Amino acid sequence: MTTSDVRVDRATDDERYLATDEVVWFDEPGSLPAADELAGVPADQRFAAEVPDADPATYAGIYGVRPLQLAVPGGEGARLVPCAGLTWVGVHPDQRRRGVLTAMLRHHVEQTHREGVAISALHASEAAIYGRHGWGVASLTFAVSLGRGTELKAPGLDEEAAALRTRMAGLADPGIAERLRECELRVAVGEPGMVVGELGFFEAIVIHQREPRATRDKEPMRFLFAQRDGVDVGHAAFRREHKWEQGRPGGKLEVFAVVGAPATRLALLRRLVDFDLMASVKVPEVGVDDPLWQWIGPRSASDVETTDNLWLRIVDLPAALPLRSYVGDCDVVVEVDDPAAPWQAGRWRIVTRGGEGSATRTDADADASLPVAALGSAYLGGTNLVAMLRAGVLSEHRPGAIGELWRAFRTDLAPTPASGF
């Protein structure tokens, strides 16, 4: 079988899509009606691959797209731009390593381009999958474990943080999905790297968290909202777990997200490290330049794990570059290697001036050659192109060209990690 034997189109059979999902992800079967299981990925954004000799009860492969707003560098803060959130990618175990994923990713890139969206983003289950298909790691994230009562020292933010009120909320509270989304939209304009889903994405969180398999033996997900003058300015999602050691409480608090500008994050984290009966708190989605590192000092975390966060793929280079702002000026001709998107492979003159950027076709000699994944990696200012050159994964034909490009793309702060989608 070759990739051309794989037919990819809209998935029209919900049961078949879910049966494929179950065999790929080997989770406890869901108990919700199909429409609820599939909530969060619009019906016209669910796709499936078919191959000639497959089991008719499942698809050979499935994928979905969540329409997202991606916060990209924009002046002092961020601009929110449309982005295709690739998710739910899976190939039936009987069909793996036959090119089904390759066919689906090619379809996704073409489909995204056709729909006029310039950027695709994803979180990768395994790091080896997406680089060869043009996605590059655009941000890194850390999960940081803290002990109960860890002191967060931030003298310059104490007053602002103290003026915020934090209040708990639950999944059953009316309007919770709307509140989460509104709050994230408010925060994202200051945090390049964040993504914000449509309302259906937040409704799906509520639907899925109410399912028995999500809460078995566990506290249901709870939220902590930070409010200024009655307006939500940030939130954290978390769950506590009982643990007793020799009659003493040693509970674990698992945080799923902390969303807010620095003073809001400070107020939320101070609450999270001070819940009764807890001994430790695990905070995910801590970015490279997250203020938490300054607040806790170099050795206060009991454990730190790092992973790749958002992977970006540019699918329309001349449309993508003007969407963000740039701190430096450059004029560099790049040869872009992108076999899966021939409309943007080849030579481009990238010019940034006065904060604005563009890419135009040119026949001039290339100053540098790049896989398209390198541009996705650098797009949020999160991955250093000069470091990639030194590592030997890019090539330069005019000395200094990559440095010039990087000084235009770089940002003051590393991107904020994007929450899972």
Ligand X SMILES: CC(=O)SCCNC(=O)CCNC(=O)[C@H](O)C(C)(C)COP(=O)(O)OP(=O)(O)OC[C@H]1O[C@@H](n2cnc3c(N)ncnc32)[C@H](O)[C@@H]1OP(=O)(O)O
- Enumerate the known binding-site residues for acetyl-CoA: 89-91, 97-102, 125-126
Q: Is 161 in a helix, a strand, or coil?
A: helix
Work out the burial of residue 245: count CB atoms within 10 Å of its CB; fewer than 13 is exposed, 13-18 middle, 19 or more buried: exposed
Determine the straight-line distance between the first and last CA of the chain, rounded to whole angstroms. Answer: 32
41 is a contact residue toward ligand X (CB under 6 A): no
Nearer to ligand X, 88 or 238 (CB): 88
Q: Is 83 in the site for ligand X (CB under 6 A)?
A: no
Question: What distance in Å separates the CA atoms of residue 141 and residue 400, rounded to the nearest whole number?
Answer: 30
What residues act catalytically? 130, 421
Q: Which of residues 124-153 bind ligand X (CB under 6 A)?
A: 124-126, 128-129
Size of the site for ligand X (CB under 6 A): 20
Q: Identify the H or E element spanning 348.
A: strand 346-353
3-state helix, strand, coil in the chain (%, to 5): 30, 35, 40
Residue type, 304: V
Q: Rank residues 62 and 152 by Cβ distance to ligand X and give the closer one.
A: 62
Q: Which stretch binds ligand X (CB under 6 A): 121-129, 199-207, 368-376, 412-420?
A: 121-129
Site for ligand X in 367-406 (CB under 6 A): none
Q: Given strand 140-147, what is the order of strands in its sheet?
A: 165-170, 222-228, 231-241, 251-259, 278-286, 140-147, 303-308
| Minimum CB distance to ligand X, residue 165 (Å) | 37
**The one segment of 89-97, 233-241, 272-280, 375-383 that binds ligand X by CB under 6 A:** 89-97
Q: Which of 62, 65, 83, 101 binds ligand X (CB under 6 A)?
A: 101
DSSP-assigned letter for residue 340: T
Cβ distance to ligand X smaller for residue 133 or 410: 133
Identify which of residues 91 and 269 has a Cβ nearer to ligand X in the complex.
Answer: 91
- Please report whether residue 98 would count as binding ligand X according to CB under 6 A: yes
Choosing from 47, 59, 88, 223, the residue that interacts with ligand X (CB under 6 A) is 88
Contact 47, 7 (CB under 8 A): no
Residue with smaller CB distance to ligand X, 30 or 99: 99
- Token pair for residue 253? 């608090």
Q: Minimal CA–CA distance to 335: which of 314, 323, 320, 350?
A: 350
Q: Does 97 bind ligand X (CB under 6 A)?
A: yes
Q: Does 90 bind ligand X (CB under 6 A)?
A: yes
7 near ligand X (CB under 6 A): no
The site for ligand X (CB under 6 A) is made up of: 24, 86-91, 96-102, 122, 124-126, 128-129
